[in-house]
Amino acid sequence: MQIQENISLRQYNTFGIEAYAQFFSGFSSLDGLLNIIENKKYHPSLILGGGSNILLTKNIEGLVLKNEIKGIEKIGEDENFIYVKAGAGENWHRFVQYCIARNWAGLENLSLIPGNVGASPMQNIGAYGVEIKDVFHELTAVHLQDKIIKTFTAPDCSFGYRESVFKKKSKRKFVITDVTYKLRKQPVFNTAYGAIQQELERMGVKTLSIQAISQAVINIRSSKLPDPALIGNAGSFFKNPSIDKLSYTVLKEKFPSIVAYENEDGSMKLAAGWLIEHSGPDADKSWKGYRVGDAGCHAKQALVLVNYGNATGKEIYDLSEAILQSVEKKYGVLLEREVNII
């Protein structure tokens, strides 16, 4: 175990925010993690995966742990499904491509989402009509205080929209070490959401496949979302808010072009990007493409806040707060941040 002191976290978060960890260590195995947390001298304050869904607003006191557990293994199958386990430190997109190459279906709509495997159930990541809860089987996690190794099933995880027990009741109590997914031998294609069908047509796809859907998703995301290697960002900064149908009807009458989708429970999910794009710091300016110093709102996707170089976490946070207030003032809808504020 090697514990480093006063380490910059800039390279460990996709926003590229400069913040320092009082102590820092990586671990690449369950035993390595247990060895670290059994040392009472160091108290884990933050667990890092791919650093793609956090905004650092301050230096971190205590120990920051970097999850680097790798490995992908097919652990079972039945008539309809393949069960595949991946280490929490595996890159998410590489894992998705590994499964697609073997015709294991279910993850194709989640291609090119930044981050690591361990964050997928924590955030219940989702895109283009698919969420992790749809393909999740179980995960293994270690309780930081009790050092108990626990298996979580889907009900244990209390999945919600970009939510799980790990963001609520068990926030910062567990370290996820591996996740097992239940993938289909025969694909069930999901192309109804967003622009997938149009992109497949543009690509000239005649025979639908999980490979084609994955490439369509990659094309769409690449055209709209900035590469964190080029511009610091954490993807979608805000969740799409849901309101009841009556409230939606009132909004629709006032704003006829508002974008929304019906939820399974009959409520309406509003497109947060549309709300932000059609709001602004003043009446004649949109947040989309807005910039103050090095903190900004991306020019192609209003849902994405960006660091153009040397923005601080507080500057990004303050911009997000101004956006929240302007959307609430104009539409009466309170947005919620999807990114974890540290």
Domains and CATH numbers, the chain: 4-67 (3.30.43.10), 72-184 (3.30.465.10), 232-341 (3.90.78.10)
The answer on pLDDT for 172 being more than 80 is yes
The answer on pLDDT for 256 being more than 80 is yes
User: pLDDT above 70 covers what percent of the chain?
Assistant: 99
Catalytic residue among 52, 162, 326, 337: 162
Catalytic residue among 25, 214, 236, 320: 236
Are 277 and 286 in contact by the 8 Å Cβ rule? The answer is yes
Whether 338 is catalytic is: yes
pLDDT grade for 40, boundaries at 50, 70 and 90: confident
Are 125 and 132 in contact by the 8 Å Cβ rule? The answer is yes
pTM over 0.85: yes
Q: Cβ atoms within 10 A of the Cβ of 244, count? A: 11
The answer on pLDDT for 209 being more than 90 is yes
CA 105 vs CA 53, 79, 99, 102, 214: distances in Å: 25, 14, 7, 9, 10
The one-letter code for the residue type at 90 is E
Most confident stretch, 123-132, 170-179, 311-320: 311-320
**DSSP three-state, residue 192:** coil
Are 319 and 292 in contact by the 8 Å Cβ rule? The answer is yes
Backbone angles phi, psi at 244, to 5 degrees: -75, 165
| 144 burial level (CB within 10 Å; 0-12, 13-18, 19+) | middle
Cite the beta strand spans of 198-318 per DSSP E.
232-236, 242-243, 260-262, 268-270, 291-292, 295-297, 304-307
Whether 262 is catalytic is: no
User: pLDDT above 90 covers what percent of the chain?
Assistant: 77
**pLDDT of res. 171:** 84
Average pLDDT score, the chain: 93
**pLDDT of res. 193:** 77
**pLDDT of res. 224:** 84
Strand partners, 82: 77, 183
**pLDDT of res. 17:** 96
The answer on pLDDT for 1 being more than 70 is no
DSSP state of 241: P
